[in-house]
Amino acid sequence: MIDRYTLPEMGRVWSEQHKYQLWCRVETLVLEAHAAAGRVPADVVEPVRNAAAPTPEAVAEIEATTQHDVIAFLSAWADNTEPRSAAAYVHHGMTSSDLLDTALAVQLTDATDVLLTKADRLVAALRDHGLAHRHTLKVGRTHGVHAEPDVWGHRVADLAFAAARCRDRLRTARTAVGVVAISGAVGTYSLIDPQVERIVAEALDLRDADASTQVVLRDGISEWVSALAIIATVCEAIALEVRHGQRTEVRELSEAFGSGQKGSSAMPHKKNPIRSERIAGLARVVRAAIVPVMEGIPLWHERDISHSSTERVFLPDAAITTDYLLDLTAGLVENLVVDAERMRANLDSTGGLIYTSAVLLELVEAGMGREQSYALVQGAAMQTWQTGTPFRETLRARAQADGVALDEAKLDEICRPERYVANLDPLFERLAALS
């Protein structure tokens, strides 16, 4: 991922230097287990443990000849080992995937921990914002069209619980990818004791593989990428709400606009939802990782490396982009500008059409047939759409023409927006308990 969207903590997790440090750690843990079991000389452990991780440049120089990244790494690390002879016991009984998959598991779980912290922040931001606006009346929209009265906090609560579910999926996916496999060529433990795998897994606070051939099957990694894609898409859902709310015709919501910020190179009046649009665009990047990574599940027999090149691109990109999206979306919510007066004005802008549901039910409960009631209310509503005459007036005229008596006091009661949201208190109690 380009630097523009890479935050420091997540960038460090996926840096080449950090990767080689993890490779050194895994190899050292394996060597220590061998030495403890008496399979290799005990005096080789300290020199290997003290050897500095090779630089990416040193590995790349050797790989240009070997065309094998693990061999290049081992050679470059051996160059840093004193005495160099101690390095002969590194990678003892292992195959490349033992190192690659185990170190990748550490990267994935470390990346997940960073994401979970950001997810906590987003959930808290949505929770607090929703509670702050539990009484902020707005019009609810279906198909983009005014429907019935609602409160802004209700919409935010829905997104808050979605973000919390995303966080829970990610916690589950962390377990799915936190797998250690140290089982040797084709995974039969022919040249390495299964106890080594268990020792390494315990040291890394991960779990040993249920089974491995030479690679860990990629269903767990696919689950992890899918969890990231869902998180990114929920971020996009939040951003889409802001993008709609910031349209000139709506003007209910807007992103914070800082001092000195410019909206357009040509039109000085512009204040555009640039953060929300960036979120929408980057969510596509994360979703795009699902299929390529999932296609790494079916490999030839015990192993091929068709998954490797794909994962080098998509796993870091998906993690880094999701990290950026969570950070950006949390900031968007924390600084969101809500125009409650404009929300109320928009709610009232259709002249009472948003109360047709309540009027329809009132007529039915008063004894009128549903079809007759629907025809009366719809006819009055269509006249309001066409003429702009307030709904109560068109309803009254239609009722008189049809010989229907209206209970005006009852209509006054049901045509209040607060009536529509009176039953949301349990929802906000659940929202307040969300952590």
- Residues 139-152 have pLDDT tens digits of 999 999 999 999 99
- Residues 24-70 have pLDDT tens digits of 999 999 999 999 999 999 999 999 999 999 999 999 999 999 999 99
422: left (phi over 0), alpha (psi -120 to 50) or beta: alpha
pLDDT confidence tier of residue 239, bands split at 50, 70 and 90: very high
Which percentage of the chain shows pLDDT scores above 90?
84
Q: Which fold has domain 98-191+205-347+421-435?
A: Fumarase C; Chain A, domain 2 (1.20.200)
Residue 334, pLDDT score: 97
Residue 386, pLDDT score: 95
Q: Going by C-beta distance under 8 Å and a sequence separation of 6 or more, which residues neighbour residue 136?
A: 151, 152, 153, 338, 340, 343
Give the DSSP H/E element, type plus range, for residue 64. helix 56-66
Catalytic status, residue 308:
no
Q: Which of 143, 265, 269, 301 is labelled catalytic?
A: 143
Residue 92, pLDDT score: 95
The yes-or-no verdict on residue 265 having pLDDT over 90 is: no
Q: Exposure pattern of 80-103 as b/e (b: 16+ CB <10 Å)?
A: bbeeeebbebbbbbbbbbbbbbbb
The yes-or-no verdict on residue 392 having pLDDT over 80 is: yes
Residue 77, pLDDT score: 96
Residue 155, pLDDT score: 97
Residue 232, pLDDT score: 98
Catalytic status, residue 133:
no
Entry field: residues in the chain = 435
Q: What is the mean pLDDT of residues 328-347?
A: 97
Rg of the Cα atoms in the chain: 30
The yes-or-no verdict on residue 176 having pLDDT over 80 is: yes
Residue 88, pLDDT score: 95
Q: What is the mean pLDDT of residues 397-414?
A: 88
**Structural domain spans, the chain:** 1-92, 98-191+205-347+421-435, 353-414
Handedness of CA 213, 218, 223, 224 (dihedral sign): positive
- Residues 354-388 have pLDDT tens digits of 999 999 999 998 888 999 999 999 999 999 999 99
Cβ 255 vs Cβ 332: under 8 Å: yes
Which percentage of the chain shows pLDDT scores above 70?
98
Instruction: State how far the Cα of 394 lies from the Cα of 406, in Å rounded to an integer.
Output: 12
The yes-or-no verdict on residue 240 having pLDDT over 90 is: yes
Residue 338, pLDDT score: 97
Q: Which of 264, 309, 349, 357 is labelled catalytic?
A: 264
Domain 1-92 has CATH 3.20.20.70: no
